[in-house]
Amino acid sequence: MTVASTESLTKVYGDRVAVDKVTMTVRRGEVYGFLGPNGAGKTTTLRMLLGLIRPTSGSARASTSVGALIEGPGFFPYLSGRANLKVLARHRGLPDSEVERVLERVDLASRGDDRFKGYSLGMKQRLGVAAALMGDPELIVLDEPTNGLDPAGMADMRALVVDLARGGQTVLLSSHLLAEVQEICHRVGVIDDGRLLRESTVAELRGGVSLRVRATPEPEALAVAMRLAGDDGVRRDTDGSLLLTLPADRAPDVARALVEARVDVHEITAAERSLEEVFFEMTSQKESVR
Ligand SMILES: Nc1ncnc2c1ncn2[C@@H]1O[C@H](COP(=O)(O)OP(=O)(O)OP(=O)(O)O)[C@@H](O)[C@H]1O
């Protein structure tokens, strides 16, 4: 079930198209990674989805309750984390018990009485997530939640997102870090230069698992590979090995067929493309179309 979606969403600033006909959907229960380099249009898209700015054309809607951490959370520096959340809770008519629940959720309960001012950046971000979780919204939107954090803070934030997802929380997060998205997201929308290049699961995006085969003589190996994986299912890698689009459990079949064809097998391994490779391939394809 879709909890948030955009349809041909567009935002123009002067002569700059910040977001260009973006159509995306976030489904209930998933961690959706909105992935793209700085300036790609992620924040602008999220702000339109949250109704903070108006689209130039197209539409964006969240069909459910939403909590968000979108720009550096505005907390009072001299109040404690707990007191800051209480201010927000009063403002929104929520009980103090909700403050305690979300402080526990982001693992800040024991530091809740410290002044916000003295928090590390990671703790400040986690307090921001706590604020977004107040009132138990079905969807939470996190704009670059790990940006600026040190490695430990990033790891904490990733663990928190994974933990929220395990509890059934739907999360939409933006990131320019491929490794991060690969690690914690179920589905990804790749955005560059305002345009959504692709939307799919992380696994689909990487093109599934393929088998890397190193065998000689090469022409005979290629013929066998094509017979098993189809003409379109074989690529030759730069080092001369063959990449077959076949699931890893077909490795024994491939080995047998090669041996039967009197081909010497030097290596058969499962090879998965990293999201990084796919991303650069995608963005360079886009360049060449221009
Ligand atoms: N209020 C604004 N006025 C003019 N241009 C803007 C405005 N907001 C964003 N832009 C431009 O729109 C483009 C997309 O910006 P946006 O902040 O959405 O990108 P982003 O992917 O979130 O990048 P970052 O991670 O750097 O925030 C950029 O070129 C930016 O300069």
38 in any annotated domain: yes
E runs forming strands in 70-205 = 139-143, 170-175, 187-192, 195-201
* Dist. CA 110 → ligand 1 center (Å): 37
Give the model confidence (pLDDT) of 90-100 as tens digits: 999 999 999 99
The structure's pTM equals 0.80
Tell me: do 189 and 235 sit in the same domain: no
Tell me: do 167 and 180 sit in the same domain: yes
CATH classification of the domain holding 256: 3.30.70
Q: Is the pLDDT of residue 117 over 60?
A: yes
Q: Write the residue with the smallest CA distance to atom 25 of ligand 1.
A: 38
Structural domain including 217 reads 209-272
Distance, in Å, from the CA atom of 143 to the CA atom of 47, rounded to the nearest integer, reads 9
Give the model confidence (pLDDT) of 13-72 as tens digits: 999 999 999 999 999 999 999 999 888 999 999 999 999 999 999 999 987 899 999 876
CATH classification of the domain holding 28: 3.40.50.300
* Dist. CA 218 → ligand 1 center (Å): 50
Number of domains in the chain: 2
Is 13 a pocket residue for ligand 1 (Cβ < 6 Å)?
yes
Residue type, 110: S
Distance, in Å, from the CA atom of 151 to the CA atom of 143, rounded to the nearest integer, reads 18
* Dist. CA 194 → ligand 1 center (Å): 9
Q: How many CB atoms lie within 10 A of CB 287?
A: 9
Tell me: do 164 and 215 sit in the same domain: no
288 in any annotated domain: no
* Dist. CA 8 → ligand 1 center (Å): 18
